[in-house]
A and B are shown apart, each in its own frame.
Chain A
Amino acid sequence: LHADGDEPALRVRAGGLGMRAMFVFYLVLIVGGIAYVSVIGLLHN
């Protein structure tokens, strides 16, 4: 099975999953960073 172009569909899907993983990773990184700094600010207060 192939996608519309010349790339195998499975590889295309894997690429999509990778992008989704990066998207989620960035969000987690941002939220985690904000939470981390807030917590150390509050704990040392």
Chain B
Amino acid sequence: MRAFVRHNSLSVAFLALFLAALVFQAIAGHADFNEEQDRHGDPTISLLRYVTSSEFGVGVMENWQSEYLQFTLFILLTVWLLQRGSPESKELGKAGRESDEEQKVGEHADARSPRWARVRGIRRTIYENSLLLVMGAIWLATWLAQSITGATEYNSERLDHQQDAVSWAEYLTRPDFWERTLQNWQSEFLAVGSMAMLRWCDRTCERRQGRRAGGGGRRREAAPAALAARLVWSRSGREAARHGLSHRSSARPHHRRLERYRLRARQAVCAARFRPAGGGRGRGH
């Protein structure tokens, strides 16, 4: 049990925070909904009825979709776009996809690499882009769920005001859908942009401190995000567990330097909630 907590403290902590926030969202949302009902002279509803309502559903999904869009864009854009000095970015001049050798896929894969890293064709493409594909799929699914439950909520409001209901497709063109969507997107984009810049300051300060302490001011190599970005389980989870890392980051654990990079990438996740497991390096998402 202690080993489980030590290896999973971050995911357990965020899971607990998520569940607590969801419960309190339901309680506060229910109270707010009933206050509104009272103001209109309508009957109040139970908490159970509220958590199965479209009002609650759309509130949850509009936030989920924006979070997963943020991850998806971050993984995708950091392949080509750079921010000098930021640990969220690759170094200048390294924009773009990496070679098979750098990625250690295909003929450069070793015996302990996942099988899909060694084969050619669609399976390797999926392996190379697994994190991006999963995050992108979750974003699209959550956005779809937001639109479905949002349309229901929108129509219930219209019926209350003796207006005709609109179809799902029609709802997608209504300001309500886009207002719900964009109010979340703008905050996520600002958060990611400021993260890249504020971490830059942090790292520059660290480097200066290193020089003063006689560390020689050696330039740190950027965390090679792609090397830790695959979502595929590898056979070498045992090695990853020994380093306190997730299985998905252990494609080539024998390589000491890569392990250091991965550990650094994990530490960045601890410091930054939206730092995906090596958000986008070359072909390795």
Contact = CB atoms under 8 A, between A and B. Distances in A.
B239 A4 contact: yes
A3 B242 contact: yes
B208 interface: no
A26 B54 contact: no
Contacts of B246: 19, 23
Contacts of A9: 238
Nearest to B156: A44
Contacts of B4: 14-15, 18
Interface size class of A (residues with CB under 8 A): 20 to 34
Contacts of B138: 30, 34
A12 B241 contact: yes
Interface stretch (B39-47, B107-115, B141-149, B219-227): B141-149
Given A18-B4, A20-B233, A23-B247, A41 B239 contact: no
A5 B241 CA distance: 11
Given A12-B242, A15-B4, 9 more contacts: A9-B238, A11-B3, A16-B238, A20-B233, A26-B15, A34-B64, A37-B148, A38-B145, A40-B52
Interface of B: 3-4, 6-8, 11-12, 15, 52-54, 57-58, 60-61, 64, 138, 141-142, 144-146, 148-153, 155-156, 233, 237-242, 246-248
